[in-house]
A and B are shown apart, each in its own frame.
Chain A
Amino acid sequence: MEEILEILEKNSRYTMEQIAVMTGKSEEDVQKAIEKYEKDEVIVGYTTLVNWDKTGKESVVAMIEVKLTPQRGEGFDKVAERIYKFPEVKSCYLMSGSYDLTVIIEGKTIKEVALFVAEKLAPLESVLSTATHFVLKKYKDKGTIFEDKSQDKREAIFI
């Protein structure tokens, strides 16, 4: 049944009927499987991959390395929660290596993101230090290449 997840991960707009045909299962089975995935929070949401650069919307994305002091009995989870609950935080990962959290922030301007780091993130008690890296260009996101100019280059050949 994991094939359903693979299909939806690529394109969540397929209908139950289309997925049923693709997987060779009944529509009812597909519906049940998806409902179960949603209930079990295997599927946690449906989103659209947008290339904002092509729209008029101004947007800045930054990846912030955060070093933390772990809290006794809670490790990093509690402080991570304080951080990821900010709506500006789009993604938040606990990392191995030289820093602890990767926090991905989206804002309208560089100033807005910088202010968020300076006013909200850095002053948190457990935060030892932050390093902010602004994204200059997105080449590929979630498996999709942006501005993919690859067209069908196959020649008409008789085979």
Chain B
Amino acid sequence: MKPEKMILQKILDIPPSGIRKYFDLLNEMKDVISLGVGEPDFTTPWNVSEAGIYSLEKGHTHYSSNSGMLKLRETISQYMKRKYNLDYEAKNQVLVTVGGSEGIDLALRTLVGPGDEVIIPEPSFVAYQGCTKLTGATPVIINLRAEDQFKLTPEQLEKALSPRTKVVIIPYPNNPTGAIMNSDELSAIVKILKDKDLIVISDEIYAELTYEGKHVSIAGFKGMKDKTIVINGFSKAFAMTGWRLGYVCGHTSFITAMNKIHQYAIMCAPTTAQHAAIEALTNGDAAVDEMVREYNRRRRVLVDGFRKMGLDCFEPLGAFYVFPSIQKTGLSSEEFCEKLLLTEKVLVVPGTAFGEVGEGFIRVSYASSMKNIMEALKRIKRFISVIT
């Protein structure tokens, strides 16, 4: 028996990660400044970690209910109301997941299969396309444009819709572009979607990292709540990536259905993380605020730095990524990243890792210290002056 013959074709078809080779290079090199990582450089606020530790000391080391501790779901329910004016019942409209990623997977597996189409605006997080393909459904890609600041326009959405469209993914604030959608822009999208028989999966994992105005959820628009599944979590806002905790909010039917998969695959999210998460939502605002202000400064420094080098860089207002165009250098995204890493020891990620439309762009994460960012800008500037 040949083991690889036993593997499903659709799994074999998943391409290897586009940036794996840079990470392999990275491990062999010294003194590299990495602006390639998509997770906060901050450690979890101490009061949050301490709450997790305390729960262990108290012996809270058992499974929780499948959908998560009721106390946590109640806290999430209150938090969604307080932050985004969304009403979800703790008992049957909130599901605690292992990170936002599990939520994306659950939502897609619950809703789509062969014959269905899933609209995915790109560049965006790779899991949307990957998870869609695993269900057998067909991803329909919308190529977002820099001139629209990588926002989803009603015209593009309209064109992508078909009678087979079952799900539209709304990924804002966006990884990798840092784009956001404000209330007016979402409203134009809502007009198209609200009377159609389809579901929106709104990935709002970066909601708290919004730098102008407050994050607006598409679920808050009239007629949208019952047809939207909101994905959120603790990783980005509370710097809790390693705790692996997220949540999904939506109509009772969806949550009940998703919980069926969740209970078999996961059983329940880690209990220690759930205890810490209650503390994060209850007493975490000040820490989040401080991190957001620091991210905002770094964001401005990066945008200013790239513009001063003569690169086009639209102003990203969310997440922790800057997505400048490197077309002026004449290099492809991959060439740029590889050469930059080898000559100046700065790691950034090619835009193509987030969809073909990302060609000509690089993703630069500002989840790194100001010192690193300033040094990286110096090196990138030197790199560009040499190659152009």
Answer yes or no: do A and B interact: yes
Residues of A within 8 A of B (CB): 3, 6-7, 11, 18, 21-24, 150, 152, 154, 156-159
CA of A154 to CA of B38 in the docked complex: distance in angstroms? 10
Please state if B297 and A154 are interface contacts (CB–CB under 8 Å): no
The answer to whether B301 touches A18, judged by C-beta atoms less than 8 angstroms apart, is yes
User: Which A-B residue pairs are the 3 nearest by beta carbons?
Assistant: A156-B23, A22-B297, A159-B38
Interface extent on B, as a size class?
20 to 34
Q: Which of B26, B300, B374 contacts A156 (CB 8 A)?
A: B26
Contact of B301 among A6, A22, A157 (CB under 8 A): A22
**Contact yes or no, B300 A21, CB < 8 A:** yes
Q: Assess whether B297 is in contact with A7, with CB atoms less than 8 Å apart.
A: yes
**A-B residue pair count with CB separations less than 8 angstroms:** 44
Instruction: From B20, B298, B304, B368, give the contact of A158 (CB < 8 A).
Output: B20
The answer, yes or no, to whether B177 is at the interface (CB within 8 Å) is: no
Chain A residues within 8 Å of B132, by CB = none
Contact of A154 among B41, B125, B304 (CB under 8 A): B41
Complex CA distance for A158 and B43, rounded to whole angstroms: 19
Question: Are A21 and B41 touching (Cβ within 8 A)?
Answer: no
Contacts of A6 in B (CB 8 A): 293
| A159 engages B301 (CB within 8 Å) | no
B37 to chain A, nearest CB (A): 5
A22:B175 contact, CB within 8 angstroms: no
Complex interface: chain B residues within 8 A of A24 (CB): 300
Q: What are 14 contact pairs spanning A and B, CB under 8 A?
A: A6-B293, A18-B301, A21-B304, A152-B41, A152-B368, A154-B34, A156-B22, A156-B27, A156-B34, A157-B37, A157-B38, A158-B126, A158-B353, A159-B38
Bound CA–CA A159/B244 (angstroms): 14
Rounded to whole angstroms, the CA-CA distance of A152 and B374 in the bound complex is 17
Closest A residue to B39 by beta carbon equals A154
Q: Which one of B26, B175, B293, B374 lies within 8 Å of A159 (CB-CB)?
A: B175
Q: Is the CB of A22 within 8 A of B300?
A: yes
Contacts of B19 in A (CB 8 A): 158
User: How many angstroms from the CA of A156 to the CA of B17 in the assembled complex?
Assistant: 12
Task: Assess whether B123 is interfacial by the CB under 8 Å rule.
Answer: no
